């Protein structure tokens, strides 16, 4: 009988960390003249009721997935999104502050959404160039990438050969996947609230294995 060679199913390399990047659920609306509460310079809105439903659906999707840990950021929308999954798995979320959302400077607290909707010239320049620093007082794209990379590598170093979930933010997911595959700036913007993306990290090398999975939503 002749030898046969079949296609194989992907598995992470031995010792690699398998990280599921979950975008937090939809948050409450921004309103003119009313700032979100602020935490360390970042707007800190709570989940909208739709976001709470998305959090439950994330938990239903991942409750049978062996996870060594759940990570969140310093912002409450990630804690609220992670809560149903953490309860289902009996895990206490760990904080990785470097995976918090982009610091938007003068536009934090909700103003970014309003300026984006009105195509403010600084927002247009940001979209054209992928440079967050065009927004008044915002951190630069290079600064964002550096801290997101540092946070992800810390998580990976703590979980060799394990799978973890990290409930994070849209800008962070975009930055992580851009770095992992050398994509143009903003190539991975638009991850849906409650979506799941996937990175496999081996040493300091990152590989994209999934983006914006919304099947559970």
CATH class of the domain comprising 17-103+140-213: alpha beta
Note the pLDDT tens digit of each residue in 99-144: 999 999 999 999 999 999 999 999 999 999 999 999 999 999 999 9
Output the pTM of the full model.
Answer: 0.96
Question: Smallest Cα–Cα separation from 140: which of 103, 180, 96, 177?
Answer: 103
Mean pLDDT of 39-67: 97
What residues pair up with 23 in beta bridges, in sequence order?
168
Q: Report whether 78 contacts 167 (CB < 8 A).
A: yes
Length of the chain measured in residues:
217
Structure tokens belonging to residue 25: 């659920």
Domain chopping of the chain, boundaries: 17-103+140-213
């Amino acid at each position: 009988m002749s030898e046969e060679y079949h296609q194989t199913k992907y598995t992470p390399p031995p010792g690699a960390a398998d990280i599921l990047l979950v975008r937090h659920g939809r948050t409450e609306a921004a309103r003119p003249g009313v700032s979100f509460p602020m935490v360390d310079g970042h707007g800190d809105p709570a989940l909208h009721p739709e976001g709470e439903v998305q959090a439950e659906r994330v938990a239903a999707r991942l409750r049978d997935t062996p996870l060594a840990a759940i990570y969140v950021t310093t912002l409450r929308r990630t804690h609220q999104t992670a809560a149903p999954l953490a309860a289902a798995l009996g895990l206490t979320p760990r904080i990785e502050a470097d995976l918090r959302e982009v610091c938007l400077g003068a536009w934090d607290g909700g103003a970014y959404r309003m300026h984006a909707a009105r195509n403010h010239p600084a927002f247009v320049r940001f979209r054209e160039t992928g440079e967050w620093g065009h927004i008044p007082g915002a951190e630069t794209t290079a600064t964002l990438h550096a801290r997101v990379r540092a946070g992800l590598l810390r998580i990976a170093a703590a979980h060799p050969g394990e799978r973890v979930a990290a409930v994070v933010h849209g800008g962070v997911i975009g930055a992580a996947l851009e770095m992992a595959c050398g994509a143009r700036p903003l190539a991975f913007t638009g991850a849906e609230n409650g979506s799941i993306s996937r990175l496999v990290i081996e040493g300091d090398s990152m590989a994209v294995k999934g983006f914006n999975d919304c099947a559970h939503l």
